[in-house]
Chain A
């Protein structure tokens, strides 16, 4: 039998990714740092640092703290604003051959709509609606924790947006599948899950929280079982593409996420220990498919046989 190269491409809402491994928003900047190590075109897509309408300075430090098998962050959406992104970052990113996912966050529905409308006139490939950032007081996760507010913001942004729309879901909810259904019913072309889980660390010597923001988002392998479970639950209720994320660090983790129902995976925190984690996962997936004689990575999607 002829050995053929397995197909790693994945279609997310009409956009073809060369492979199913993308970078998670907030962990990869605008690509200029890890881009010194490998061509950015080797990634399926890059979800850029969360953008807001105006520049945001972010939260006071300390913003990060390590935890068992993970870390907390409370960066607070520090970013130069959507216009600076369009002017100074996007042309460079596209010139690298990257598929670009613009992650957007706002204080009001109007903010989100204005950004979606503005980005619709640019070369970004997809827009990711961040309604799950746990680190900003207004907006962010406030929009993502009830079906009614998810429905309202998704419908409003859908009306303003002429790019494929991904809605990024928060795990800090009672029933993520219900939230996912609301997003899809009101215009989400795809879903990303999960954002970070709200966590806290306290310095027992000073009796003060380690993070200046007191609380922050937990990421890393510690959250992976939760992410896998949530992807599986959401896959049971929706048919749109899912980008699964939360603690994916190895190709084995990626296979697990795909089996749970994700069409692609995002890698984030794992990059800090191994900046090559994303490209190693792509290679590992290819070899796994070859070993199992599989023609297409999408054969894995949702293939878990539940008890």
Chain B
């Protein structure tokens, strides 16, 4: 293993991986919770190019920076993305309604390398990190075990979508209000004890990712993590979204979440 790409992937012509900047209509806008928006846009260029784990940069009115949002699903001409309202930019975005045009850049980044989808895989998601796992788990169907962790039952979302994809979904909550009372990584340990796991894919808060990486390392299971960092350009030009990683020769350097990631092999991440 050890896919490690620095300064982004390049095409034969020396350019970075291509992306589109386009204006596309919002065709579905739902609010599963007051602070969560579930949007679908009609955007054939991005929908057809999108790979699981990639993200889009959405322009929010007059704000200086676009907001990076992971692609939850891409199907036909449609791109679905789910985001939490965290500040004034995402609040502006959440107020858009069906028919509004959104200015979107993407798809961007190196997503999950799914490998052999006929083998069992485990997906570990925490909080708002669960959304990109839907696109990734679909090709595995019933061979996907999807372990989702939340602070409390009221924050649980998208379980039906994962079930509709055929996945075996297990829940954990910090306060025990739903599913396992404890951490989602407890579920991961139990799943690994119960039978062979060929691959782990994870997205969520840093402590969860770090614990997931430790479990994967001790059990020698290939593991890919989708990371987050404050981002500006989203295309690899500004070098803002740095993530420390270990090179094959053991030296450390800063890679970039937007162009080298957002998905990294767990073994290269320096915590």
Known: A35-B15, A75-B239. A271 touches B233 (CB 8 A): yes
In the bound complex, residues from chain B placing their C-beta under 8 Å from that of A70 are 64
The distance in angstroms between the C-alpha atoms of A64 and B241, with both chains bound, is: 7
Closest residue to A26 on the B side, CB-wise? Answer: B238
Q: B16 within 8 Å of A by Cβ?
A: yes
Q: B98 within 8 Å of A by Cβ?
A: no
The answer on a CB contact under 8 Å between B63 and A66 is yes
Distance of B209 from chain A, by nearest CB (Å): 15
The distance in angstroms between the C-alpha atoms of A64 and B64, with both chains bound, is: 12
Q: B52 within 8 Å of A by Cβ?
A: no
Q: A163 within 8 Å of B by Cβ?
A: no
In the bound complex, residues from chain A placing their C-beta under 8 Å from that of B105 are 275
Distance of B135 from chain A, by nearest CB (Å): 23
Contact with A along B1-43 (1 / 0, CB 8 A): 0000001101000111111010000000000000000000000
The distance in angstroms between the C-alpha atoms of A36 and B108, with both chains bound, is: 12
Interface of A is mostly: loop
Closest residue to B236 on the A side, CB-wise? Answer: A33
The answer on a CB contact under 8 Å between B229 and A32 is no
The answer on a CB contact under 8 Å between A32 and B14 is yes
The answer on a CB contact under 8 Å between A58 and B233 is no
Closest residue to A35 on the B side, CB-wise? Answer: B15
Distance of B34 from chain A, by nearest CB (Å): 20
The distance in angstroms between the C-alpha atoms of A71 and B233, with both chains bound, is: 11
Distance of B33 from chain A, by nearest CB (Å): 21
Contact with A along B248-267 (1 / 0, CB 8 A): 00001110000100000000
B200-252 interface with A by 8 A CB criterion = 229-244, 252
The answer on a CB contact under 8 Å between A73 and B232 is yes
The answer on a CB contact under 8 Å between A29 and B236 is yes
B interface residues, how many (CB within 8 angstroms): 38
The answer on a CB contact under 8 Å between A65 and B237 is no
The answer on a CB contact under 8 Å between A34 and B239 is no
Interface of B is mostly: loop
Distance of A260 from chain B, by nearest CB (Å): 22
The answer on a CB contact under 8 Å between A37 and B238 is no
Q: A78 within 8 Å of B by Cβ?
A: yes
Q: Which of A60, A92, A221 contacts B14 (CB 8 A)?
A: A92
Distance of A156 from chain B, by nearest CB (Å): 29
The distance in angstroms between the C-alpha atoms of A36 and B65, with both chains bound, is: 20
The distance in angstroms between the C-alpha atoms of A101 and B24, with both chains bound, is: 36
Size range of the interface on A? 35 or more
Q: A27 within 8 Å of B by Cβ?
A: yes
Distance of B68 from chain A, by nearest CB (Å): 11
In the bound complex, residues from chain B placing their C-beta under 8 Å from that of A33 are 8, 15-16, 233, 235-237, 259
The answer on a CB contact under 8 Å between B66 and A78 is no
Closest residue to B65 on the A side, CB-wise? Answer: A66
The answer on a CB contact under 8 Å between A66 and B237 is no
Q: B59 within 8 Å of A by Cβ?
A: yes
The distance in angstroms between the C-alpha atoms of A65 and B252, with both chains bound, is: 24
In the bound complex, residues from chain B placing their C-beta under 8 Å from that of A32 are 8, 10, 14-16, 236
The answer on a CB contact under 8 Å between A71 and B21 is no
The distance in angstroms between the C-alpha atoms of A45 and B65, with both chains bound, is: 24
The answer on a CB contact under 8 Å between A36 and B63 is no
Known: A33-B236, A63-B241. A276 touches B16 (CB 8 A): no
Q: A69 within 8 Å of B by Cβ?
A: yes
The answer on a CB contact under 8 Å between B64 and A66 is yes
The answer on a CB contact under 8 Å between A71 and B65 is yes
The distance in angstroms between the C-alpha atoms of A69 and B235, with both chains bound, is: 21
List 17 A–B pairs whose Cβ atoms lie within 8 Å, in order of A's numbering.
A26-B238, A32-B10, A32-B14, A33-B237, A49-B239, A57-B253, A58-B242, A60-B244, A63-B242, A64-B241, A73-B238, A271-B237, A272-B66, A273-B63, A273-B66, A274-B21, A276-B21
Given contacts A33-B16, A275-B235, 12 further A-B contacts (CB under 8 A): A32-B14, A33-B15, A33-B237, A36-B16, A36-B17, A37-B21, A57-B252, A61-B242, A64-B65, A64-B241, A66-B65, A75-B242
Q: Which 8 residue pairs of A and B lie closest in terms of their CB atoms, listed nearest first?
A: A64-B240, A29-B237, A61-B242, A62-B230, A33-B235, A33-B237, A64-B232, A33-B16
